[in-house]
Amino acid sequence: MLRNQALKQILADTRQHWDHDGTAPTVRQNFLKILACGTLALGAEIYSSETERLLVPHTCKSRVCPSCGYRATALWQAELDDSLPDICYVGINFTIPSFFRPLLQRNRDLLNDLPAVGASVIRRWAESKYGAGVFLIVVQQTFGGLLNFNPHLHMLVSAGGLHESEGRWLPRLHFKEPGHERELMEMWRLALSSYLWAALRMRAVMSNLDTESLTKALRLNTSESGSSMLAR
């Protein structure tokens, strides 16, 4: 509710900048809904007893509203959780060197391949270490908490895996075993480096640097990429 009030105040203070025909109709409509959210402008429900009376204003039901959209998000999360296998998971994050962020921001089409690159690293590691296949979901986030361009991968990975040749489920693959996190980080560095090298050779990268300078920078900065893990 506090977030909703803060957004309302921002929209009210900046209304002259968006409440006009130059703003996209859907955006303008949702902003107006948020301003009216929880007010009598949208009507209200009255609950009363012999001793008390409660007036509850209607909410806007907009998905972009911090209050109304929260329920939709919670329901979506519950549905997603129900659809996942009832097993343990590990959260793994792959980060990208800060040097490459402007490069990826200018060549945003390269971002489309990063989830597949990250997933291949996890799958190859599990296969080589345990001979097992894993279940995983990759979500790419392109902005950090300060809304700065900071592409990275969030991966939800099954803590166990299917040993296909033996037809059995391995309950733990020990992603957090000493040394295993470093192995994953090094594999991610190599995979990211190989992908960018391939893009560079195919002339699929636009940069202010010449090819020689970009090649040298690629060698120097690849080692900055890393990973982190969080058990779930």
Q: 4-8, 46-50, 125-129, 140-144: which range is least confident on average?
A: 4-8
More confident residue, 204 or 175: 175
The one-letter amino acid code at 41 reads A
In the block, tokens 């090819």 appear at 211
- CA-CA distance, 76 to 89, in Å (whole number)? 19
Give the pLDDT score at 163.
92
Q: What is the pTM of this model?
A: 0.63
Please report the domains of the chain, with CATH numbers, ordered by start residue.
2-71 (no CATH), 84-231 (3.30.930)
Q: Name the β-bridge partners of 31.
A: none
Single-letter amino acid, residue 10: I
Task: Reply yes or no on whether the pLDDT at 89 is more than 50.
Answer: yes
Task: Identify the band that residue 103 occupies on the pLDDT scale cut at 50, 70 and 90.
Answer: confident
Contact by Cβ (8 Å): 159, 171: yes
